[in-house]
Amino acid sequence: MSFTYISLEEILRLHFQLIEDFGGSHGVRDENRLKSVVEAPKQNKKVNAKPKDLEVFIVRVATDHLDVQEIAVWLESHTI
């Protein structure tokens, strides 16, 4: 599985549209942290998960508001 990385502007535009469509608060709690994640060097790793498992994880990130540590643990256990 390979990824195409999206820009900070694309992420913010998607976030805005999701809030418009489904409700919630506009804005980002820590834009500098988001920038650092987006601008971090891309590592040469691949996600080792079935598409359904990846989908469930992404939904959990959005709905359960997983913190960075929980996300990191999942990614570490699902990358090669």
Longest Cα–Cα distance of the chain, Å, equals 36
Over the stretch 23-76, which tens digit does the pLDDT of each residue have? Answer: 988 888 888 888 888 877 566 778 889 999 999 998 898 888 888 889 989 988
Query: Using 50, 70 and 90 to split pLDDT, how confident is the model at 4?
Result: confident
Query: In whole angstroms, how far apart are CA 28 and each of 33, 43, 79?
Result: 10, 25, 27
- Read off φ and ψ for residue 79, nearest 5 degrees: -125, 155
Rounded-to-10 torsion of CA 52, 54, 58, 63: 50
Query: Using 50, 70 and 90 to split pLDDT, how confident is the model at 12?
Result: very high
> Residue 7 in contact with residue 20, Cβ under 8 Å?
no
User: What pLDDT does residue 3 have?
Assistant: 65
